[in-house]
Amino acid sequence: MKIVIVSPDLYTYGAMVIGGVLKSAGFDVTLTKNPDDAAEAGADVILLSLYSTLHLLDERIRNFASAFKSGSAAPGDRAIYVGGPISAYPDIVLGELDVDAVIVGEGEESTVELLNNGISEDISGIAFRDNDEIIVTKPEPAKIERPMPLIPDDIGSQSIRGANTYIETHRGCIGACGFCQVPKFFGTKIRSRDIPEIIAEIEEFKRCGVRRIAISGGTSSLYQYGESGSVNTSAFIELLQAIAEVMGPRNVSVPDIRVDYVDEEVLHAIHDFTMGWVYYGIESGSNEMLKVMRKGVDLEANVYAIELAQQCGVKVGGSFIVGYPGETIDDYELTKSLIEDTFLDDVFVSIAEPIPGTHLSGLVLETDDSENPTFMAHTGEYKALKLTESEARCFDLTLHAQMCKAVPSILTGPLYNACLEDSRQQGGDVRVVTRLLQKYRGSDVQEKP
């Protein structure tokens, strides 16, 4: 049986892990970023690894799935399954794509069972159609130990925010941010990998051409969290030091850290054993909005963590979300003030995207379009640009941040246009996702135990 994993446009870590698991189980498996390559490879089974809700509406992916199925020599002799973060809403996946089943949640074990035995209610963590009904079986957490990932030859040419690849040190997050699907997908209990296994994997990535890596896993400093109920600082430092010895400190980054899980020791380790940046999800300068977002931290905690990092010589990137349901102009102005006051080194602005199944998606469904910044026409300073309120705030905050950074950028025409284009693109994407969400309102299917 020839299996091709299709991970559109980039090799996700999850797709490489599943590839490694299948290879180790004896399957003939390859991994590609390009659906056209998969069609030419003569696959019997396609595993579509999808990480964005927008993939469900991508004509290239939709057509590929339909063409693969209709190309069967006889009904049932080919199969196409979908996995990845979008498996958190299997009803929408099965409604939008012509596929046989969805591998729900962590797929390491259920994918092997599915390939060996075919679709069955006895396999945990899959969803499929049975006449008019959608059957979903309850996913189980996979074992945290696993074989070496399937690493493609051209991994060294990939760039995800500057890194060739992300690697996973642990799964789960104890946070409950309303816009995030990590706790639902991986659970709220932290499961950490052993350092020797992580290092062996990094050495293999390096041998395959990876020069820069980023550590993912929700919030990096939660590595080995659990036994003491607080950050395991020594384990995190040991981990960073071991990774830096393989890659060199300037080739390692820890992109996402919660402000309430850093202290001086953690920040000094980030300074010494990584490229020296932290990226905090600050989200808003308004305590009201932080509560609505369920961040579990307030403005004071955000400012404290920023200043602590700056005192430790660590550069600080901040992520912000605009256009959340209920965000008033006053809330938005507080976010602008926070950016003015904190001299961040870099800023990322996102329009709130309602990933199906999150608390945010429920809020968006309860909000009438006339009160949702994603659809409200902006009538203020940028009226002539015909933006929505979310787009205008995204554009305005991005420009504002460029001028308030520790080293301000000069606002050139190309920079202005790039910020405008990005805000429009984000606004369009979030509108599309919101319409998809509304289309499946109330269709949530129940898992079988």
Distance between CA atoms of 12 and 107, rounded to whole angstroms? Answer: 14
Residue pointed to by tokens 């051209």: 154
Query: Are the beta carbons of 427 and 394 closer than 8 angstroms?
Result: yes
Least distance to ligand SF4 from the beta carbon of 289, Å? 14
Q: Does 180 bind ligand SF4 (CB under 6 A)?
A: yes
Strand pairing report for 346-351 and 28-32: unpaired
Q: Does 175 bind ligand SF4 (CB under 6 A)?
A: yes
**Residue placing its CB nearer to ligand SF4 in the complex, 38 or 355:** 355
Distance between CA atoms of 437 and 243, rounded to whole angstroms? Answer: 40
Query: Are the beta carbons of 347 and 311 closer than 8 angstroms?
Result: no
Query: Are the beta carbons of 125 and 81 closer than 8 angstroms?
Result: no
Q: Does 281 bind ligand SF4 (CB under 6 A)?
A: yes
Q: Does 47 bind ligand SF4 (CB under 6 A)?
A: no
Distances (CA, A) of 368 to 293, 324, 358, 395: 18, 13, 18, 23
Q: Does 361 bind ligand SF4 (CB under 6 A)?
A: no
Could you tell me how far CA 262 lies from the centroid of its own chain? Answer: 21
Stretch that binds ligand SF4, among 116-124, 162-170, 177-185, 415-423 (CB under 6 A): 177-185
Q: Does 318 bind ligand SF4 (CB under 6 A)?
A: no
Phi, psi dihedral angles at 383 (to 5 degrees): -55, -40
Look up residue 218 and give its amino acid.
Answer: G
Residue 54 structure tokens: 């927008």
Query: Are the beta carbons of 327 and 289 closer than 8 angstroms?
Result: yes
Query: Are the beta carbons of 161 and 255 closer than 8 angstroms?
Result: yes
Q: Does 354 bind ligand SF4 (CB under 6 A)?
A: no
Q: Does 182 bind ligand SF4 (CB under 6 A)?
A: yes
Least distance to ligand SF4 from the beta carbon of 4, Å? 30
Cβ-based neighbour number of residue 27 at 10 Å: 17
Least distance to ligand SF4 from the beta carbon of 174, Å? 7
Distance between CA atoms of 211 and 344, rounded to whole angstroms? Answer: 27
Q: Does 183 bind ligand SF4 (CB under 6 A)?
A: yes
**Residue placing its CB nearer to ligand SF4 in the complex, 156 or 357:** 357
Could you tell me how far CA 308 lies from the centroid of its own chain? Answer: 27
Number of residues that bind ligand SF4 (CB under 6 A): 11
Stretch that binds ligand SF4, among 98-106, 109-117, 141-149, 175-183 (CB under 6 A): 175-183
Residue 123 structure tokens: 């396999």
Stretch that binds ligand SF4, among 62-70, 78-86, 171-179, 415-423 (CB under 6 A): 171-179
Residue pointed to by tokens 């091709």: 4
Query: Are the beta carbons of 290 and 244 closer than 8 angstroms?
Result: no
Q: Does 309 bind ligand SF4 (CB under 6 A)?
A: no
Least distance to ligand SF4 from the beta carbon of 8, Å? 23
Q: Does 357 bind ligand SF4 (CB under 6 A)?
A: no
Residue window 248-267: x/- pattern of binding to ligand SF4, with contact defined by CB under 6 A: --------x-x---------
Least distance to ligand SF4 from the beta carbon of 218, Å? 3
Residue pointed to by tokens 């789960």: 172
Least distance to ligand SF4 from the beta carbon of 206, Å? 27
Instruction: Work out which of 4, 150, 173, 339 binds ligand SF4, going by CB under 6 A.
Output: 173
Q: Does 177 bind ligand SF4 (CB under 6 A)?
A: yes
Least distance to ligand SF4 from the beta carbon of 90, Å? 21
Q: Does 146 bind ligand SF4 (CB under 6 A)?
A: no
**Residue placing its CB nearer to ligand SF4 in the complex, 113 or 327:** 327
**Residue placing its CB nearer to ligand SF4 in the complex, 163 or 173:** 173
Closest CA to 434 of 304, 311, 325, 320: 325
Burial class (CB in 10 A: 0-12, 13-18, 19+), 209: middle
Residue pointed to by tokens 């919660």: 258
Residue pointed to by tokens 């199906």: 356
Query: Are the beta carbons of 61 and 48 closer than 8 angstroms?
Result: yes
**Residue placing its CB nearer to ligand SF4 in the complex, 139 or 281:** 281
Least distance to ligand SF4 from the beta carbon of 203, Å? 27
Residue window 206-225: x/- pattern of binding to ligand SF4, with contact defined by CB under 6 A: ------------xx------
**Residue placing its CB nearer to ligand SF4 in the complex, 220 or 367:** 220
Interface with ligand SF4 (CB under 6 A): 173, 175, 177, 180, 182-183, 218-219, 256, 258, 281
